[in-house]
């Protein structure tokens, strides 16, 4: 079974980033090649090297030299909470070190345990210093091995049996049961079976009605309840299991902000969950976890219906050739940027720091590449859940992510600060606010402003501005406290709760006072203000203005 199908090219027009029109994935994933950057990096926004500008003529100076404000880290960080970091003090320390979103891994822990974590996060948010979002990550349809009496050491060439039989007392040391009865139908002679993503691997050599007989390819130690994958295949299980539905309802009862839907195979899986949330008046965002071979065939369709995506590279690397994972990651980030939706890059980002206090150079390069691709967030899993150095790992990720953004001259020819658009489809009317978002970024670039202020009630306006990738912070102000937490995922957005007055000038004055209080600006700074609601009546008027902080 081929891990890849031909992915249709996405048409990009205007002076935005051009992309090869050839198919990105053909069988073994043809390497993705970007064409040379066009002279004008932005449509209506000038950012680089004194080339074409929004006014159509060349500059004698480098725009990058205008930037003397430290915009800080623009990408966000998701941290998995585990036994070592579940108490109030630990979560608060993670927030102080750079955590933006708390991840609850529903593969582990009880609802009571996760409720305790949620209560701690709410208490920290209520204190006023942070607006931490909460992401519930479903377990999904995992296939696992059964319990073993003692760890089993398996050597290369050894015969090993995987069975759906339940007569455990009759098993020898080379037989383990599997939790999923259809496993026997999903596996065929010649398939490669991976344990925990490749810690051990086996070649299927024979099958019976109840047993998969295999030969060990890569030896190791087998313990209880190990995760099983078949290279290049996805298990024929429903994307949302009964346990997942119970966990989703638990999340709704506790008002979580994001759902990461595991092992998505088809866009209908996502649509089903979104429909369920809408029917129950839940506004949480649904992120598709791309970690199965089946999902690769339908990336554009899945991402279009999702609110965002997570590149779950661990399981993905077990189902497709491992050398293809970076190409798939790049493609997911690219498609989501054209759709103006967020992407989280996850798994093994600082894996060595579970045990050691310093990262490998390759891990630092991995974070850098994810941020330079334009991912909205990167994620820590075992590093913060049960690692020996959770705060050091988080500090490393935050420092590296900030460094990528702060080196303006190095980034000026990079895609990071270039907006990406696709032509509107026939059934999709053009959103005129997109032009306003580009204009706000243009002013921010030209006037070296301290921040862009966006007043929004539902969040769409802030997301549009974030998609243009300005080099200054985007301060999103909304009266909706739940929306504040949902906006924590988006690139460059710093959301705050603010009550809107019927008088626009009073609302702006409150906003500037908040910025001064939070340290985002100071007297004498320029700021860009944009909104479609700063009017006294109930009409919608798109506005953009520049003000100097007094």
**Pairwise CA distance, residues 540 & 174, whole Å:** 70
The tokens for 58 are 């060349």
Do 223 and 250 reside in the same domain of the chain? no
Compute the C-alpha angle 538/541/544, nearest 5°: 135
Segments of the chain scoring below 50 in pLDDT:
1-69, 408-412
**Pairwise CA distance, residues 82 & 116, whole Å:** 12
Per-residue pLDDT reduced to its tens digit, 330-376: 999 999 999 999 999 999 999 999 999 999 999 999 999 999 999 99
pLDDT at 44: 31
Beta-sheet strands, E only, within 262-392? 285-290, 308-312, 343-346, 377-380
Do 461 and 364 reside in the same domain of the chain? no
Do 505 and 540 reside in the same domain of the chain? yes
Do 189 and 329 reside in the same domain of the chain? no
Residues 371, 399 contacting (CB under 8 angstroms): no
pTM: 0.82
Domain range for 450: 433-548
pLDDT at 36: 38
Do 400 and 254 reside in the same domain of the chain? yes
Do 256 and 377 reside in the same domain of the chain? yes
Do 307 and 380 reside in the same domain of the chain? yes
Residues 138, 244 contacting (CB under 8 angstroms): yes
Q: Which of 169, 197, 230 is the last residue of a domain?
A: 230
> Please, which residues bridge with residue 378 across strands?
77, 345
Per-residue pLDDT reduced to its tens digit, 238-263: 889 999 999 999 999 999 999 999 99
**Pairwise CA distance, residues 282 & 249, whole Å:** 10
Residues 333, 374 contacting (CB under 8 angstroms): yes
């Amino acid at each position: 079974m081929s891990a890849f199908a031909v992915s249709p090219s996405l048409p990009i027009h205007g002076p935005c980033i051009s992309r090869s029109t050839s198919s990105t994935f053909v069988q073994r994933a043809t390497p993705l090649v970007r064409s040379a950057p066009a002279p004008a990096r932005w449509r209506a926004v000038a950012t680089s090297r004194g080339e074409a500008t929004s006014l159509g003529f060349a500059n004698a100076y480098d725009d990058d030299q205008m930037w003397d404000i430290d915009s800080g880290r623009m990408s966000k960080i998701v941290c998995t909470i585990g036994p070592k970091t579940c108490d109030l003090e630990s979560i608060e320390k993670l927030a102080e070190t750079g955590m933006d979103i708390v991840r609850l891994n529903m593969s582990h822990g009880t609802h009571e345990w996760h409720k305790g974590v949620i209560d701690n996060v709410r208490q920290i948010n209520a204190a006023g210093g942070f607006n931490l979002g909460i992401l519930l990550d479903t377990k999904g349809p995992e296939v696992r091995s059964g319990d073993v009496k003692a760890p089993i050491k398996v050597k290369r060439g050894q015969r090993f049996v995987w069975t759906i039989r339940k007569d455990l007392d009759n098993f020898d040391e080379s037989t383990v049961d599997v939790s999923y009865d259809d496993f026997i139908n999903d596996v065929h002679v010649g398939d490669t079976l991976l344990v925990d993503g490749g810690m051990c691997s086996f070649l299927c050599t024979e099958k019976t009605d109840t047993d998969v007989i295999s030969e060990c390819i890569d030896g190791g130690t087998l313990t209880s309840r190990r995760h099983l994958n078949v290279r290049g295949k996805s298990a024929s299980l429903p994307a949302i299991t009964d346990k997942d539905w119970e966990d989703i309802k638990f999340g709704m009862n506790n008002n979580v902000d994001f759902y990461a839907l595991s092992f998505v195979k088809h866009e209908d899986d996502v649509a089903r969950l979104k429909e369920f949330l809408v029917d129950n008046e839940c506004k949480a965002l649904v992120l598709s976890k791309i970690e199965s071979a089946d999902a690769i065939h339908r990336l554009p369709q899945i991402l279009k219906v999702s609110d965002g995506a997570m590149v779950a590279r661990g399981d993905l690397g077990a189902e497709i050739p491992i050398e293809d994972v970076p190409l798939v990651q790049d493609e997911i980030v690219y498609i989501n940027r054209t759709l103006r939706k967020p992407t989280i890059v996850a798994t093994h980002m600082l894996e060595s720091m579970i045990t050691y206090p310093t990262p490998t150079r390759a891990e630092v390069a991995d974070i850098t590449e994810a941020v330079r691709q334009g991912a909205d967030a990167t994620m820590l899993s075992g590093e913060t859940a049960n690692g020996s150095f959770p705060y050091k790992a988080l500090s490393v990720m935050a420092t590296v992510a900030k460094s990528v953004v702060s080196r303006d001259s190095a980034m000026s020819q990079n895609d990071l600060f270039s907006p990406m658009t696709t032509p509107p489809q026939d059934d999709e009317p053009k959103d005129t606010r997109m032009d306003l978002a580009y204009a706000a970024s243009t002013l921010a670039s030209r006037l070296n402003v301290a921040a862009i202020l966006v007043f929004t009630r539902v969040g769409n306006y802030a997301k549009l501005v974030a998609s243009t990738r300005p080099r200054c912070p985007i301060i999103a102000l909304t009266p909706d406290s739940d929306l504040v937490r949902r906006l924590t995922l988006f690139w460059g957005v710093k959301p705050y709760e603010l009550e809107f007055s019927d008088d626009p000038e009073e609302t702006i004055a409150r906003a500037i006072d908040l910025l001064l209080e939070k340290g985002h600006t100071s007297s004498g700074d320029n700021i860009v203000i944009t909104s479609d609601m700063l009017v006294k009546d109930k009409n919608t008027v798109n506005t953009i203005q520049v003000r100097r902080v007094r």
